[in-house]
Chains A and B, each alone.
Chain A
């Protein structure tokens, strides 16, 4: 059974940093692209970052480019999101997701999510 378990969320002041983690199990982690998707309170879904199988390629939307860094440790089956210079608009539930990129890209498995609140 595929499992994705996020951790590391919490309350952080604007301008500070936070690092999220995602522990994966139930599949060969190193064979899949992985991603982070967020959802602001009562809002829709927003893709935040994707990383290739080896970690050599990363992708971000303009809203987080230069502030967020996605990384992975295939030996530990773990995914990370380093978030710097946090803003109030980064307040959201952050989901770790497996990103299927061949043929028709989509996110097929999602974690339960972790809440990040950016506030003074």
Chain B
């Protein structure tokens, strides 16, 4: 199974700050990676697919990138509605696996 190691597990940032979350894949998964945001009591919402493609309706301050087997989600200017838990998902092969999550809070 492909392991997705997500970091940090939690972080606290200020409004307008740049935030970066990373996922390390245990093997090459190409661009087959997605990012999700989950708010308390809600279902996950798709942010990024194909490592870099922005999902419909997602603000442009969210972006995804890849360097080898490391993937990053960047929030360019943190907004009040952005706190939540962020997950990565590898879509390269079954079993499709998620990262452990990053809890983002406002400082």
- List chain A positions with a Cβ less than 8 A from chain B: 44-47, 50, 59, 61-62, 95, 100, 103-113
Q: A45-B89, A107-B89 are in contact. List 10 more A-B contacts (CB 8 A).
A: A47-B95, A61-B95, A95-B44, A100-B49, A103-B50, A104-B30, A104-B51, A106-B46, A106-B49, A108-B49
Residue among B30, B36, B44 having the largest count of chain A Cβ atoms under 10 Å: B44
Residues in chain A near residue B98, CB distance under 8 A = 44-47
Q: Is the CB of A107 within 8 A of B46?
A: yes
B79 CB, nearest partner CB in chain A, Å: 22
Please give, as numbers and ranges, the residues of chain B lying within 8 Å of A109 by CB-CB distance. 46
Q: How far is the CB of B87 from chain A (nearest CB, A)?
A: 6
The answer to whether A104 touches B34, judged by C-beta atoms less than 8 angstroms apart, is: yes
Chain B interface residue count, CB cutoff 8 Å, equals 28
Beta-carbon contact of A50 and B94 below 8 Å = yes
Asked if B70 CB lies within 8 Å of chain A CBs, one says no
**Which chain A positions have C-beta within 8 A of B100?**
44
Q: Which residues of B lie under 8 Å from residue A47 when comparing CB positions?
A: 94-98
A112 with B96: CB separation less than 8 A? no
Is the pair A44, B101 in contact by a Cβ cutoff of 8 Å? Answer: yes
Q: Which residues of A contact B95 (CB under 8 A)?
A: 47, 61-62
Q: Are B43 and A112 in contact, CB atoms less than 8 angstroms apart? A: yes
Question: Using an 8 Å CB-CB cutoff, how does the interface string of B67-107 with A read, 1 for contact, 0 for none?
Answer: 00000000000000000000101011011111111000000
Chain A min CB distance to B94 (Å): 5
Check: B31 CB closer than 8 A to any chain A CB: yes
B55 on interface, CB distance cutoff 8 Å: yes
Chain B residues with Cβ below 8 Å from A108 are 46, 49, 55
Known A44-B87, A45-B87, A105-B91: A95·B43 in contact at CB below 8 Å:
yes
26 contacts across the A-B interface (CB closer than 8 A): A44-B87, A44-B100, A45-B36, A45-B87, A50-B94, A61-B94, A62-B95, A95-B44, A100-B49, A104-B30, A104-B31, A105-B32, A105-B91, A106-B34, A106-B49, A106-B89, A106-B91, A107-B44, A107-B46, A107-B89, A108-B46, A108-B49, A110-B45, A111-B43, A112-B42, A112-B43
